[in-house]
Amino acid sequence: MPRIQPLNPAHAQGKAKDLLAAVNTKLGGTPNLITTMAQAPAVLEGYMGLSGALAGGSLPAGLREQVALAIAGVNSCGYCASAHTAIGKGAGVPVTELAAALDGEPSDPRAAGAVRFARAVTEQRGHITDEQFRAVRGAGFTDAEVLELIAAVALNTLSNYINHIAQTEIDFPAVRVPQPVGA
């Protein structure tokens, strides 16, 4: 049972109602993560704002989903692993590549560069080495794209942590993620 209950869209008011209506219009539904965030409209609005901004950035949707899966893998977030596997399929990423991204090793060299960088940023809390920075640049990422990757780490870490703490019920086909050491 969730620690933080999702907000029933039928009972939402004010800003939460408007935000949930926008998500419902865009997605045709409101995932549990979104209805949970709606308990704090400022959080949902910030999440949606950054997510929307990154969707309009230079990184393609499929790559953004692979990065989200890499972060879900590092943070052992079953909700995000499940959600981004489903979304990634919709973005045309092969299932094998989605699973590989969750484990940190997609076969495409550019995707692998992004995933390894995102994992390093997540695992090392931003304190990457010069070698790790050279590797992401060597995979063909510009300064702007590196900044978008960092923002994707922040966005996905936020959703991972909310899911861990709220114990959000998974409403996508469930995907298994490795458990953190000591869990």
Give the model confidence (pLDDT) of 1-23 as tens digits: 999 999 999 999 999 999 999 99
d(C-alpha 47, C-alpha 24), whole Å: 15
- Whether 93 is in a domain gets the answer yes
Distance CA 149, CA 141 (A): 9
Same domain, 29 and 70: no
Shared-domain flag, residues 132 and 149: yes
Q: Which residues contact 155 (CB under 8 A, 6 or more apart)?
A: 47, 50, 51, 54
Share of the chain above pLDDT 90, in %: 95
Do 50 and 100 belong to one domain? Answer: no
Does 128 have pLDDT greater than 90?
yes
* Number of domains making up the chain: 2
Least Cα distance to 168 among 64, 81, 48, 47 occurs for 81
Q: Are residues 48 and 99 in the same domain?
A: no
- What is the C-alpha separation between 159 and 99, in angstroms, rounded? 19
68 occurs within a structural domain: yes
pLDDT, average across residues 44-54: 98
pLDDT for res 183: 55
Same domain? For 143 and 115 the reply is yes
pLDDT at 143: 98
**Is residue 150 assigned to a domain?**
yes
Give the pLDDT confidence of 143-170 residue by residue, as tens digits.
Answer: 999 999 999 999 999 999 999 999 999 9
Its domain, for residue 31, covers 13-55
The label of the residue with tokens 């060597």 reads 138
Looking at the structure, do residues 66 and 131 belong to the same domain, yes or no? yes
Is 131 in the same domain as 80? yes
CB 5 within 8 A of CB 11: no
Asked if residue 67 and residue 48 are part of one domain, the reply reads: no
| pTM given for the model | 0.95
**Per-residue pLDDT reduced to its tens digit, 75-119:** 999 999 999 999 999 999 999 999 999 999 999 999 999 999 999
- 116 plus 50 within the same structural domain: no
CA–CA distance, 121 with 71 (Å, rounded to integer): 9
pLDDT for the residue numbered 168 = 98
Same domain, 112 and 67: yes
Confidence grade of residue 182 (pLDDT, cut at 50, 70, 90): low
CATH number of the structural domain spanning residue 73: 1.20.1290.10
Asked whether residue 46 falls in the same domain as residue 88, the answer is no
